[in-house]
Structure 1
Amino acid sequence: MTTEPSRATTPLRTPGVSSWPKRIAWGILTLFLAAFAVFESQKYGLPTTAAALVFFVVPDLTRLAGIRAPGMLYQAVNRVWFPLVVLVGYAVGPIVWPPLFTAGLGWLTRIALDRTLGRGLTST
C-alpha cells in the first residue's frame, strides 16, 4: 500500500489565488503612501518633493547599475524594513528635517508599488 494521498482527496490549488488579497492590500498601502508623500511635498516645498522622487527611483537605480538579486545592496533597497525604520525613527526621534521623512515615504511607496504589481526581490 502507498501512503501518498490520492488525487481525489488532495485539494486543488489555483495558482495566484492567495496572492490577490496581498496585492490588493499592497495597492491600498501604495495609494495611501503616495497621497501622503504628495501632501508632505506640497506642505514643505521643493526639497521634500526632490527627496521623495529620488528615493522613489532608488530601487531602479540599483537595477540599472547592474546590481542584481544576489547583491546585498539590491536586497537592502528592496526591503520594507529600511524605509519603515526611517519613517518611524523620524516620527519618534529628535531630527526635524522633512526631506528625510518624504524620502522614506517615496522609498516605501516604490516598494509597495512593486509588491502590488507582483514584483518581489528577485525580479529584474
Structure 2
Amino acid sequence: MSTATTSTSSPLRLVRRTAWLAAALFWSAFAVLEGVNHGWLTGVAALALLVAPDLTFLVAADEAPRMAKGQLPPRAVPYYNALHRASVPLALMVDYAVGPVAWPPFFAALCGWLAHISYDRAFGYGLRTKEGFQRG
C-alpha cells in the first residue's frame, strides 16, 4: 500500500467511524427517550435488540473452538451479516412510519438495533467474509 493511499484512507476512516459513533449515540438516546415516554416494556425491547444481533455467534458455537482468532464460524456468517446491515432496521422503520400499526416497543427495538450496528461500525467491526473474518 502506498503512502498516498494510507494517508488519505486514514482520515476518511476516522471521519466514517466518528459519524457512526454520532449515529450510535443518536439511536441510543432515541431508544432511551422512547423508553421514558412509553414505559418499561419499550425500554426492555430497545435493550433486547441492542444485544440480540451478537447472539448470532451462538448459531455455530460448537465450531468456535476450531476457528482462528477473530474468525466467526462460516455457518454463522449469513445470520451475523443479515443482523448487522443497517438497511434492514432502517427499512423496517420506514415501513413502521407509513404503516397502520403504531407500537412504541417495536420502534424502540429498531432504535436499539440501529444503535448496536452503529456502535459496531464506530469501533471497527463490520460485516464478515464468507470465511468468517472481518471485511477489510
Q: TM-score of the superposition, structure 2-length normalised?
A: 0.76
Aligned-residue offset at 1:73: 1.5
Structure 1's consecutive aligned runs of 4 or more residues displaced over 4 angstroms after TM superposition are: none
Q: CA deviation at 1:66?
A: 2.7
Equivalent residues in 2 for 1:1-124, closer than 5 Å? 11=4, 13-14=6-7, 16-66=10-60, 68=72, 70=74, 71-122=77-128, 123=134
Query: Aligned pair in 2 of structure 1 residues 72, 33: CA closer, same or farther (>3 Å)?
Result: same
- Letter of the 1:109 partner, please give it: A
Deviation at 1:50, TM superposition (A): 1.1
In the alignment, structure 1 segments of 5+ residues that lack a partner are: 1-6
Aligned to 1:3: none
Whole-angstrom distance in 1 between the partners of 2:100 and 2:45: 19
- Partner of 2:131 in structure 1? none
Q: CA deviation at 1:63?
A: 1.5
Report the CA distance between 1:12 and its aligned residue. 5.2
Identity percentage of aligned residues: 42
CA distances 1:38-76 after superposition (whole Å, capped 9, x unpaired): 000010011111111111111211123337474321110
Q: In 2, distance between residues paired with 1:111 and 1:29?
A: 9
Cα distance in structure 2, aligned partners of 1:66 and 1:22: 31
Please, what is the CA RMSD of the aligned residues? 2.1
Larger Rg: 1
CA distance in 2, matches of 1:93, 1:109: 23
* CA deviation vs aligned residue, 1:71-97 (integer Å, no higher than 9, x gap): 321110010111111211111111111
- CA distance 1:69–1:108, change in 2 (3 Å): farther
**Structure 2 CA distance for partners of 1:45 and 1:12, relative to 1, 3 Å:** closer
- Bigger drift between 14-23 and 101-110 goes to 14-23
Determine which structure has the larger helix proportion and give its number: 2
